[in-house]
Amino acid sequence: MVEVKNLLKTYNHKTVVDDVTLKIEKGTMTSFIGPNGAGKSTLISIITRLIAKDSGDIQIDGKDVLKTDSNELAKKISVLKQSNSINLKLTVRELVSFGRFPYSKGKLTKEDEKQIDEALEYMELTDMENKFLDELSGGQRQRAHIAMVIAQDTEYIFLDEPLNNLDMRHSTQIMKILRRLVDELGKTILIVIHDINFASCYSDNIVALKDGKIVKQGRACDVIDACVLKELYDMDIEIQQVGDKRICVYY
Residue 39: name its binding partner from other proteins, ligand ADP, Mg ion, none (Cβ under 5 to 8 Å by kind): ligand ADP
Query: 110-122 and 138-151 helices cross at what angle (nearest 10)?
Result: 140
Output 102 or 212, the one with its CB closest to other proteins: 102
Interface with ligand ADP, residue 138, by CB under 6 A? no
Residue 240: name its binding partner from ligand ADP, other proteins, Mg ion, none (Cβ under 5 to 8 Å by kind): none
Interface with ligand ADP, residue 16, by CB under 6 A? yes
Interface with other proteins, residue 99, by CB under 8 A? yes
Interface with ligand ADP, residue 38, by CB under 6 A? yes
Output 34 or 99, the one with its CB closest to other proteins: 99
Output 76 or 194, the one with its CB closest to other proteins: 76
Is residue 51 classed exposed, middle or buried when 0-12, 13-18 and 19+ CB atoms within 10 A define those classes? middle
Output 119 or 201, the one with its CB closest to other proteins: 119
Phi, psi of 38 (to 5 degrees): -70, -20
Interface with other proteins, residue 142, by CB under 8 A? no
Q: Which of 30, 31, 41, 140 binds ligand ADP (CB under 6 A)?
A: 41
Minimum Å gap between C-beta 48 and other proteins is: 7
d(CA 2, CA 108): 30
Residue 162: name its binding partner from ligand ADP, Mg ion, other proteins, none (Cβ under 5 to 8 Å by kind): none
Q: Which of 21, 55, 71, 109 binds other proteins (CB under 8 A)?
A: 71
What residues numbered 50-69 form the site for other proteins, per CB under 8 A? 50, 52
What residues numbered 23-62 form the site for Mg ion, per CB under 5 A? 41
**What is the residue type of 200?**
S
Q: Which of 10, 21, 25, 37 binds ligand ADP (CB under 6 A)?
A: 37
Comparing CA positions, the residue from 101, 224, 122, 129 lying closest to residue 175 is 122
Footprint of other proteins on this chain (CB under 8 A)?
45, 48-50, 52, 70-75, 78-79, 81, 84-90, 94, 98-99, 101-102, 105-106, 152
